[in-house]
Structure formats: structure tokens, C-alpha cells
Amino acid sequence: MSDLIVISFENESTAFELRSELIKLQKEYLLEMEDVVVVTRSEDMKVQLHQASNLTAMGAVGGGFWGMLIGLIFLNPLAGAVLGAGAGALSGRLSDVGINDDFMKELGRRLKPGTAAVFVLARKFNAEKVVERLGDFRAKGQVLQTSLGHDDEASLRAALEAKPV
């Protein structure tokens, strides 16, 4: 079962820094994420989702490959690649994996203009080591919502919301 964690920040750059740090932790096998998204709310009240992976581009590449392969069979690889890329891009654009986009946009509308939030859907993680590595973000974030257990949530809040010593 996955846990959802939402952390808000007073500026966008800190949110993007946290996302980068979480990706590093995943590469070190301290964290396994299904999805990580930075949601920003601009001064003109526009909410924008910054996905870690571009599903449209991935769909276009995969569709182009398979379209070209099928096109080779029917002796028209160029048409197959074009049609496959288009179909793959459309499929990637319409698919929604991980955290529900509507949920993120709804929570994003509650953010103050100029701020951001990081949405993390984590499958597995070593809570003690992850919280320890988030020391650079001490007193910079606020935990808005989690599905963590009480102890893990309390240690995360202490790490992000407490004033530096």
C-alpha cells in the first residue's frame, strides 16, 4: 500500500529542490516512489502541475517505435512511425498514473499565490533515514496531508516544520 505525503513551501525553488532530493533518495534505494509532482500557484492564481515524467513524450516515443515496426511489416515504416507516435502521444496525454490530477489541482487552488507543494506517493521508504536526509529542509516546509502512521508523520513534521537548532 502506498502513502501520500503533501508538503507545502513558501517558494517554488524549495519545492523543486525537495523533489530532486527525493529522486536522489530513490536512486539510493531509501525510498520507492510511484509519483512525485510539484504543484505551483502563480501570482495570477494559475495552478500548474510539474510532473516528474512526461507521459505524452514517452507515449510518442513508444508509439513511434511500435508504429515503425508494424509499418516495416506492411512495407511503409514512415507512415507507421508517424501514426504510432501520434497514437502514443494521445494515449500518454490521456493516461493518469499515480496521484489524481484533479486532487492535486484542487489542493493547489488552496495554496497562496507564489507558493508550491510537493505531492509524493511512496510505496516503500526507510522513514528514519529519509527524515534524517531532509535536514536541509528544516523549518522550510509544512506538512499539509499524509496517510502515514502517527509516528512517521510526527517525525516528518518535526523534521520539516521545527525551527533549526
| Whether 40 and 69 share a structural domain | no
CATH number of the domain that residue 118 is part of: 3.40.1520
| Whether 59 and 49 share a structural domain | no
Domain end point (choices 94, 121, 148): 94
pLDDT tens readout for residues 17-33 = 999 999 899 899 898 88
| Whether 82 and 120 share a structural domain | no
pLDDT tens readout for residues 96-138 = 457 888 888 998 999 999 999 999 988 888 888 888 888 888 8
Query: To which residue does cell 522550510 refer?
Result: 140
| Whether 104 and 155 share a structural domain | yes
- Work out the widest C-alpha separation in the chain, in whole angstroms: 69
| Whether 87 and 153 share a structural domain | no
| Whether 155 and 104 share a structural domain | yes
| Whether 103 and 90 share a structural domain | no
| Whether 41 and 60 share a structural domain | no
The sheet with strand 31-41 has its strands ordered as 47-51, 31-41, 116-125, 3-9, 141-146
| Whether 119 and 141 share a structural domain | yes
| Whether 125 and 148 share a structural domain | yes
Domain end point (choices 94, 118, 148): 94
| Whether 146 and 77 share a structural domain | no
pTM: 0.70
Domain that holds residue 87: 55-94
Tally the domains of the chain: 2
- Look up residue 58 and give its amino acid: M
Distance, in Å, from the CA atom of 113 to the CA atom of 135, rounded to the nearest integer, reads: 26
Distance, in Å, from the CA atom of 1 to the CA atom of 55, rounded to the nearest integer, reads: 23
pLDDT tens readout for residues 4-20 = 989 999 999 999 999 99
Most confident of 21-30, 64-73, 75-84, 131-140: 21-30
| Whether 63 and 47 share a structural domain | no
